[in-house]
Structures are given as C-alpha cells and as structure tokens.
Amino acid sequence: MKPIKITLVLLSFVCGIASASSTDNEWVDLSHRYSSNTVYWPTSERFQLDKIFVGETDQGFFYSAFKFSTAEHGGTHIDAPYHFYKQGNTVDNIPLNKLIGQAVVTNFSKQASKNRDYLITVKDFQHWEAAHGKIPKESIVLIRTGYENYWPDAKKYLGTKLRGEKGVSQLHFPGLSEAAAKWLVTQRKIKAVGIDTASIDYGQSNMYKAHRVLTAASTPIFENVNNLSRLPATNVWVVALPMKIKGGSGGPLRIIAKKYNSGMVASS
C-alpha cells in the first residue's frame, strides 16, 4: 500500500489540493442526513421518522426500531430517467455501471454566488476544462455551486422557506442550462451528473429542460449532494447507490467519493 499512498500525496501536492480536500485516500460522504430538518421541495412531503420502540424490552435488553415516510425526491436523492422520461429506467433498473466510476468535480461557485438564478453554460465547462483537462468520456460530472454551504437553511439554500405552490414561485438557486445539459450528454457522453442544489434545473425553471435532456439520454441525476468542497477537481471515484424501489422515479441516495488512484481504475 505504501507506494500508492506516496503517489497520492505527491499527486495532491502537484494539484495543490492537499490541505483543502480529503486526505489519506479516505471515502468522503456526499450525502446529507435524513431528519425533520432535511430540505425538501416546497410541495413535497418531508421526511418523517416515527418511533416503534426505544428502550428496555420485557426480556431485559435494549431495543430500538423506527419507521419512516418520505417523498422520493428530497434530501440527497437520485432522479431516475423515468422521473422525466416515460421510456426511461426506473430507479431499480439503473445499471450499476451508471452509478459507479470516475468523476470530475466542476466548480461554478463564483458565478452562482453573484446570481442566485445563474444558468451554467457550455462556456463555463469549457473554461473549467481549460484549467483541469477534458472531461473524460463516461465520467460522472459533479457540479459545485457552493450552495451546499447553505444547507439546511431553506431560505438560503432554496431561496425561500415558503411551503406549497407559493414556495415554488420563490425558488432561487442556480442550475444547468439546457445547452450545457445537451453538450454534456452529446459532446462528453457523461454517464451521470450530480449537483449541490435541490434540482439540476435552476429554481426559476418551469419547463425542467435540463432534467428532460438528461433523462431522455438515460443519465441519472444526483441532487442535494454534499461535501463537494472536500474533493479535488479530478482523480475522483464515485459510488452512488440509491434505495432499490421497484418502479420508482427516484429515491434516497447514499453517495460517497474518494480520491482516485490507479488501483481503482484497474478495478473498474
């Protein structure tokens, strides 16, 4: 193991990310917790945990168990292609190879911090590529807007605390433009995309064009992703495993990532 660790440390040093990102080749958890504080779409049913039993049983030992309910599309979750595309895979039928692999962590925090309605453009990705290299084919593209820092403050994260239809009209957070979504699937042939906001489309969207382009191209979408600031821009490996809901349009997602090394590529 030693030589690989040394290589990674050198790589980190060369990339200038040693202090900011995860060290020692550790997995980074990119999922938020589910609780009553979890951010949901204004019209979605929130996560609710109900106690079945917590305490000492008649037999004299400790026992705890709960049940819960939630909308599929809240917290850190996946949109299956079927969410916006009738012929698309439901969440239980997404091939595992679409959910695991090499990733890049793009970063448009600067633009998004100046404009809550920012739409990420093809040019933004091209500028990112000029600095970090071309997005490899079959990559998982993670998009950092910096809005993960606002979690779980709905007013800052979504643009509003209002619930219901009134809240939907007040959503202000950045997203992916339709043109950039098309470019990612046709010009970079990515396998999945993730973002640190509540939706791959920006808050003011009502036509959900990025969702429709991506799902029609069988591209799973990870939303409300966390901790992207802990990853380097490239050499990242992602494992994103959704709850296996038969016929589901999406669902809770546990997504983790680590710095990539040659051993991991060999194991893909």
User: Can you give the binding site for a second copy, defined by CB under 8 A?
Assistant: 1, 4, 25, 27, 29, 31-35, 44-45, 49, 52, 59, 61-73, 76, 82-86, 92, 96-97, 100, 206-208, 212, 237, 239, 241-252, 254, 256, 258, 261-267
Output the smallest distance, CB 129 to a second copy, in A.
25
CB 107 → a second copy: shortest distance, Å? 24
Supply angle C-alpha 197, 200, 203, rounded to 5: 70
Min dist. Cβ of residue 108 to a second copy (A) = 26
CA angle 255, 176, 108 (to 5 degrees): 80
State the nearest-atom distance from the C-beta of 261 to a second copy, in Å: 6
φ, ψ (nearest 5 deg) of residue 200 = -70, -30
Considering the complex, state which of residue 189 and residue 254 has its C-beta at the smaller distance from a second copy.
254
The one-letter amino acid at 66 = F
Bridge-based pairing state of the strands 119-120 and 77-79: unpaired
User: Which residue type does 122 have?
Assistant: V
Whether 142 and 194 have beta carbons less than 8 Å apart is answered as yes
Give the nearer residue to a second copy in terms of CB position, either 10 or 115. Answer: 10
To the nearest whole angstrom, how small is the minimum distance from the Cβ of residue 228 to a second copy?
Answer: 16
Distance CA 234, CA 212 (A): 27
* Three-class secondary structure of residue 53 per DSSP: strand
Q: Which is nearer to a second copy, 183 or 260 (CB)?
A: 260
Strands 140-144 and 175-176: unpaired
Name the phi and psi angles at 228, rounded to 5: -65, -25
Q: Which pair of structure tokens corresponds to residue 227?
A: 């901790």
| Structure tokens given for 228 | 């992207």
Residue 82 CB, shortest distance to a second copy, in Å, is 6
Coil vs helix vs strand at 225: coil
Least distance in angstroms from the C-beta of 144 to a second copy: 20
Nearer to a second copy, 62 or 130 (CB): 62
CB closer to a second copy, 38 vs 109: 38
40: DSSP letter: B
Q: For a second copy, which is the closer residue by CB, 182 or 254?
A: 254
Choose between 125 and 237: whose C-beta lies nearer to a second copy. 237
